[in-house]
Structure formats: structure tokens, C-alpha cells
Amino acid sequence: MKMINVGVIGVGHLGNYHLQKYQKLPNSNIAGVVDIAEERARKAAETYGCKTFPDHRDLIGAVDAVSIAVPTLSHHRIAKDFLEAGIDVLLEKPIATTLKEADDLVGIAESKGLILQIGFVERFNPAVVALETVMEKPLFIEAHRLHPFFERGTDVDVILDLMIHDLDLILHFVKSAVKSVEAVGVSVLSDKADIANARLTFQSGCVANVTASRITGKTMQKIRFFGTEGYHAVDYAKRDLVSLSKRSGTGGQIEIVKNPVEVGDHDPLEEEILSFLESVTKRTPPAVSGRDGRDVLELALLITEKIKTQEIPL
């Protein structure tokens, strides 16, 4: 298998996890890291046996592919530099801050035949992978993603920080255009919405009720799908799937049975990076494309705009 020289830009909390996974995979060689905090970059380089570079552009010529795990405001600028240099990119979510930026990145990647994968790690959650085998046509979806407050991530609102994971999965499974959006949100501990709820209606008739909060005492990461074929509940954190369906029992009575679905035990981020490297090696479309990232950003920004017109005063 071809060895891929990789770089990681941004080696904070999430970037360090990327480095851990790259180090484990046999066809990746960590060529270098970049971070605005020199000491953090130096420690990462010592840990993973690679070089530090003062500027992300210094990696050009030394790498085949990069992971970008920097604040969202820098996504477009940094990813564009690598794409224009012909380097494949795994870009953490959200793809960018504006649709114009997202369209620019998608356009460059597609015109050059490059891999632009967006880091929606829940796509690789074992429970979600198992869900793919039983999901048919969802009619109602309910999602809750509730977290305690962390300063990390507050460069964007809770929609782009947390809710966007569920929006990505909803678009992935519903496969229908959005017909209408209702939303409400409140800023509590930051200057942006920290808790939000959105009700999405799709052309297919499916309705999704989505709640995200980063000011909750306990963590909850769950999504439930209801359809004519049954009920499917995913617990992201536990990587668990409960899948139920109905059948005719004795005397024609309806029985609820548990579907025999096998849920794997792989690590989602490791699987995401493995998938990225496979796309880089085989030149196959990424599991989560730049266009996927662009479409979910469009929906997230629409929710944010709806909230701005219906803000609740404290």
C-alpha cells in the first residue's frame, strides 16, 4: 500500500486525536505539524516523531494530504492554500463560515480532482454505520445533542458547533430538499446562541425536531428515526442502536420485534481517517464530500438566520 505523507494543521484537542490515529495506520507517515502555539507544536512533534513548521504553507512539497483542525474562521484560507497546491484535505466541520467560502473550496477540489473530505465523525460511528443497513424512509426524526459548557468551540454558535453533526445525518438519511425551517435559540454564556431548537420540514413529508445545547449539566447525544418500517434509536456516545419493527403475530395481532442488527466496535475517528487515506490512495470519492459539507452548512446558516429573527430576550 502506498505510503501517504500527511501533515496536521492545528494540534490542539482534536488535532492531537488526528495525530494519534495517523500514527496507528500503516500507510501514513506524519511529515509535520503546524500550530500558532509554538510550544504545543513542539510537544506534538516530539511525541509523534515529526517536524514542526512555522507556517502551514511550509508543508507544501512535504505532504500528500493534510488534516486541518483549526478554528472555523481559518478553514477557508488554509484549506484553499493546500487545494490550490494540489494537496488532498481532510477538513474538520463546518467546512467554512459562509456559503461563498464553501463553494470556493468545493469548486477548487472538483476542478483539480482532489479529495476534500469534511470531518463529520458521526458518519463513522458504529451505530450509524449499522443504521445504514435498516433505515428506509424516515417520517419523523428527533435529535438531542446536549453538552456542558466548554470555552473551546465558542468561536461559532451551537448550531455550527454541535447541531451540525445531526443536521448532516438528517440530510444524509432523508435525501430530500428542505421545505421550511422554524428555529429559536438563546445566548447564555457566550455572545452567540448556546442552546437552539429547529423544526425542519422536508419535501418528502419528513419532519425533524433538533435540539442542541452547550450549557447542559449532563451530556446527551441521541437521535431517533420513525418510519413505516419501524423505529431506530442511536446513542452516539454509547455507540448503540436499538432497531424495532412490526410484524403480524398469532391471530393477526401486531407484534413489535427487535431487528437483529450487528453494531461494530471500531473507533469512529480512526475509521474516518482510514476512509480519508483510502480515498487519497485509490482516488475514490470521500465518504463525506465537500459538497455534503456545503449543503449542511447552508441548512445550519438558515437556522441561524431564523433564530436571529426570533431571538428570545433574557
**Closest alpha carbon to 304 in 82, 59, 49, 72:** 72
The CATH superfamily holding the domain 125-265+298-308 is: Dihydrodipicolinate Reductase; domain 2 (3.30.360.10)
pLDDT for 192 equals: 85
Residue 265 in this model has a pLDDT that exceeds 80: yes
234 in Cβ contact with 223 (< 8 Å): yes
pLDDT of 297-310, one tens digit each?
999 999 999 998 86
Q: What are phi and psi of 120, to 5 degrees?
A: -90, 90
Count of other CB atoms within 10 angstroms of residue 162:
23
Q: DSSP character for 162?
A: I
Count of other CB atoms within 10 angstroms of residue 255:
10
Q: What is the pTM of this model?
A: 0.93
**Percentage, residues of the chain above pLDDT 90:** 86
**Closest alpha carbon to 198 in 141, 237, 150, 154:** 141
Alpha carbon of residue 90 to chain centroid: 11
pLDDT for 313 equals: 45
| Per-residue cell: 169 | 445525518
Alpha carbon of residue 175 to chain centroid: 17
Residue 314 in this model has a pLDDT that exceeds 70: no
Question: How does residue 152 score in pLDDT terms, banded at 50, 70 and 90?
Answer: low
pLDDT of 96-150, one tens digit each?
999 999 999 999 999 999 999 999 999 999 999 999 999 999 999 999 999 998 7
Helix H or strand E segment including 11: none
pLDDT for 1 equals: 66
Q: DSSP character for 215?
A: S
Residue type, 311: E
pLDDT for 241 equals: 97
| Per-residue cell: 81 | 492554500
Helix (H, G, I), strand (E, B) or coil at 74: helix
Q: Give the Cα separation of 153 and 161 in Å (integer).
A: 6
Residue type, 165: H
Pairing state between β 4-9 and 65-68: parallel
CATH fold of 4-122+269-288, please?
Rossmann fold (3.40.50)
Q: Give the Cα separation of 291 and 109 in Å (integer).
A: 10
**Helix H segments across the chain?**
13-24, 38-48, 75-84, 99-112, 126-131, 158, 164-174, 268-282, 290-308
Residue 159 in this model has a pLDDT that exceeds 50: yes
**Residue range 271-277: average pLDDT?**
98
23 in Cβ contact with 31 (< 8 Å): no
pLDDT for 150 equals: 78
Computed over every residue of the chain, the mean pLDDT equals 94
Residue 172 in this model has a pLDDT that exceeds 50: yes
Pairing state between β 138-146 and 220-227: antiparallel
Q: Give the Cα separation of 163 and 196 in Å (integer).
A: 8
| Per-residue cell: 120 | 463529520
Residue 185 in this model has a pLDDT that exceeds 80: yes
pLDDT of 49-75, one tens digit each?
999 999 999 999 999 999 999 999 999
Residue 312 in this model has a pLDDT that exceeds 60: no
Residue 295 in this model has a pLDDT that exceeds 70: yes
pLDDT for 89 equals: 98
Which has the minimum average pLDDT: 9-13, 192-196, 263-267?
192-196
pLDDT of 214-257, one tens digit each?
998 889 999 999 998 899 999 999 999 999 998 777 777 788 89
272 in Cβ contact with 286 (< 8 Å): no
292 in Cβ contact with 168 (< 8 Å): yes
Domain boundaries, the chain: 4-122+269-288, 125-265+298-308
Question: Cα dist. 40→16, 44, 51, 58, 304 in Å?
Answer: 10, 6, 13, 18, 33
Q: Give the Cα separation of 155 and 61 in Å (integer).
A: 31
Higher confidence at residue 312 or residue 36? 36
